[in-house]
Amino acid sequence: MKKVLFMAALVAASFTGTAQDKKLSFGLGAELALPMGDFGTFYSFGAGVSAQMNYAVTSNVGLTLNAG
């Protein structure tokens, strides 16, 4: 069970490359779903991909767009 949780956390992690002088950054992430209970009897697992865009409006304000 620990291996499953570790893999789920690893796959769910999203990495975004940013620098302080850039106003726009992008990121990609992988997602894993492990259904439990009654829902788990009909579905085994799910996987997906997500994308993220960050735009720094000012040094204290930013906009984020997520899809996936």
The pTM of this model reads: 0.51
Closest to 64 (Cα-Cα) out of 46, 35, 54: 54
Q: What is the pLDDT along the chain (68 residues), one digit of tens a residue?
A: 667 777 666 666 644 444 556 788 899 998 888 888 887 788 888 889 999 999 988 878 889 999 98
Tally: H helices and E strands in the chain: 1, 4
The residue ranges of every structural domain in the chain are 2-67
